[in-house]
Amino acid sequence: MKQPSLASLEDAARLVYEVMPPTPQICWPQLGQLIGAEVWVKHENHSPIGAFKLRGGLVYFEELVQKNPNISGVVAATRGNHGQSIAAAAKRHRLRSLIVVPHGNSPEKNAAMKARGAELIEYGEDFQAALEHAEQLAGEHHLHMVQSFDEPFVRGAASFSLELFRAVTDLDTVYVPIGLGSAVCGTIAARNALGLKTDIVGVVAAAAPAYLESYSAKRPLARPVAPTVADGMACRVPNPEALEFMLTGISRIVSVEEDEIKSAMRHMFRYTHNVAEGAGAAALAAAIKESPRMRRENRRQRIALVQTGGNIDKPIFAEVLSKDE
C-alpha cells in the first residue's frame, strides 16, 4: 500500500463527516497517574456504531458505488464492528448486505448488524473460516466481496488520527490495536501526511500473535488464535499490504495477555466511565505494560490511546467488572 496524500485523507474525512461528527480526544488525569505520563484517549467508542470502523465503510462504499453504479449488494465476513460498518454503509446506498460471522459470535454484535439491515449467516469456528465462506457466497450470489482490509478503509480510518494529531500537538507515542490493520495503518498514514515524528506502537492480543510474529519475521505468517475477550483482534492470517505498511511505519508491537486486557477494561471504566470492548482496551493495556519505560524517561511523555470500540456483550462485561485488581 502506498502512502496516501494529505489531500486524499482530507477528502475521505469530508465523506465521513457527512454522516458522523469527529469523536472526542480527552486527557484523563487518573490514567496519567496510573501510567506515569500525560494520557489522551481517542474515543472511537463514541461513533454512531460504537467503533471506528464506520469511517472506512463510508469511504469504501462511496467509491464502490461510483465505480459500480449497477451493484446490487455486498457480502463480508466479520466478528462484529466491521459488519456494522458494512451494514450501515450499504443501507445508506440502498444495497443488500450479507454478513458472515463465525459460530459463537457476540449475540449483541449480531443483533446490532441485523438492526442495521444485514442478513446474517453463521459459519465456521473463527474469522478466517467465515471469510472463506463469504468469498464462496460472493461468487454464488453475484455479490461484491468486501474484504476487511483495503486502501479506502485505511483512508477512512485515518480521519480519526487526523483529528487526534491536530487536536493534541507534540504526541510522543500513539498506541493502536491491530485487528487486520486498518486502524494502525490509518494512523501511520495520517502521521506521515502531517509530517510528524510521533512513534506509533501496534498492540496485539497474546492469543492472536500472527502480526507480532509476522512483524518480527518481516513476512506474513499465519498463526492459530486462542479464545480471547479481544475478538476484534483475533486475526489468524495477516494482510500482506497491511504488514508491509506497518514494517515501515510503527516503532514496535506490544503483546498483551488476557488478564492485562481485562484489567485495562476495568481501569477504563473506573477512571473514564467509558465502556471498552477487549480490543478497545488493548491500547491502555499496552501502555500500562510499558509504564516502567515511561517512568524512566527524564521528561513526562504525552501519549494517546486509541479506544477503537465499546461494543461488548453485557454478560462478558459484567464478568470482567466483577473481578478485583
Is position 180 within any domain?
Answer: yes
- Classify the phi-psi angles of 273: left when phi > 0, otherwise alpha if psi is within -120 to 50, otherwise beta: left
* pLDDT the model gives residue 128: 83
Residues 282 and 135 grouped into a single domain = no
Q: How confident is the model at residue 127 (pLDDT cuts 50, 70, 90)?
A: confident
22 secondary structure, DSSP code: P
Q: What's the confidence (pLDDT) of residue 176?
A: 98
The band of 166, judged by pLDDT with boundaries at 50, 70 and 90, is: very high
Check residue 63 and give its pLDDT: 96
Strands 199-205 and 252-256, bridge-based pairing? parallel
List the domain range (segments joined by +) for residue 259.
6-52+151-321
Question: Which three cell numbers, joined as nine digits, stand for 118?
Answer: 444485514
Are both 16 and 88 inside the same structural domain? Answer: no
Q: Report yes or no on 251 lying in a domain.
A: yes
In a shared domain, residues 171 and 284: yes
Are residues 190 and 242 located together in one domain of the fold? yes
d(CA 48, CA 304): 22
What residue type is 131 in one-letter code? L
Q: Could you tell me if residue 1 is inside a domain?
A: no
Whether the per-residue pLDDT at 134 is higher than 90: the answer is yes
* Judgement on whether residues 140 and 235 belong to the same structural domain of the protein: no
Across 128-144, average pLDDT: 92
| pLDDT tier, 269 (very low <50, low <70, confident <90, very high otherwise) | very high
Work out the average pLDDT over 271-277.
98
Are residues 89 and 12 part of one domain? no
Residue 23 lies in a domain: yes
**Domain end marker among 85, 119, 146:** 146
Are both 176 and 279 inside the same structural domain?
Answer: yes
226-239 tens-digit pLDDT: 999 999 998 889 99
Tell me if residue 114 falls in helix, strand or coil: helix
**Cα–Cα distance list, 67 to 41, 60, 61, 151, 287 (Å):** 36, 11, 10, 15, 42
With a cut of 90, say whether residue 148 has pLDDT above it.
Answer: no
Are residues 229 and 314 located together in one domain of the fold? yes
Q: What is the pLDDT of residue 80?
A: 82
Q: Check which CATH number belongs to the domain holding 242 and give it.
A: 3.40.50.1100
Choosing from 146, 170, 199, the residue where a domain stops is 146
The answer to the question of residue 165 being in a domain is yes
Task: Looking at the structure, tell me whether residues 280 and 301 fall in a common domain.
Answer: yes
Give the residue from 230, 238, 284, 222 showing the smallest Cα distance to 106. Answer: 230
Region 199-206: mean pLDDT is: 98
Instruction: Read off the C-alpha cell for 35.
Output: 501510567
* Segment 41-66 mean pLDDT: 97
Percent of the chain with pLDDT over 90: 90
Which range (28-37, 125-134, 263-272) has the least confidence?
125-134
Per-residue pLDDT, 164 = 98
C-alpha cell at 313: 456483550
pLDDT tens string 66-81: 999 999 999 999 988 9
Q: Measured on CA atoms in the order 115, 116, 121, 127, is the torsion positive or negative?
A: negative
| pLDDT at position 200 over 80 | yes
Sorting pLDDT into bands at 50, 70 and 90, what band is 299? confident
Query: What's the rounded mean pLDDT across residues 212-234?
Result: 95
Residue 325 pLDDT greater than 80, yes or no: no
Asked if the structure places residue 20 within a domain, the reply is: yes
Closest CA to 114 of 137, 91, 93: 91
Which of 146, 174, 191 is the last residue before a domain boundary?
146
Q: Are 108 and 158 in a shared domain?
A: no
The continuous run of DSSP H or E covering 97 comes out as strand 96-101
CA–CA separation, 56 vs 152, rounded Å? Answer: 6
Q: Answer whether residue 196 is part of any domain.
A: yes
- The helix, strand and coil proportions of the chain, stated in percent and rounded to the nearest 5, come to 50, 15, 35
Which are the contacts of 122, defined by CB distance < 8 A and separation ≥ 6? 100, 101, 102, 103, 105
Q: 299 in a domain, yes or no?
A: yes
Q: Is 234 in the same domain as 173?
A: yes
Q: Are 131 and 104 in the same domain?
A: yes
Domains of the chain: total: 2
Cα dist from 11 to 8, 82, 155, 158, whole Å: 5, 21, 9, 11
With beta carbons less than 8 A apart as the criterion, state whether 218 and 210 touch: no
pLDDT over threshold 90, residue 138: yes
Predicted confidence band of residue 298 (pLDDT cuts 50, 70, 90): confident
pLDDT higher than 90, residue 295: no
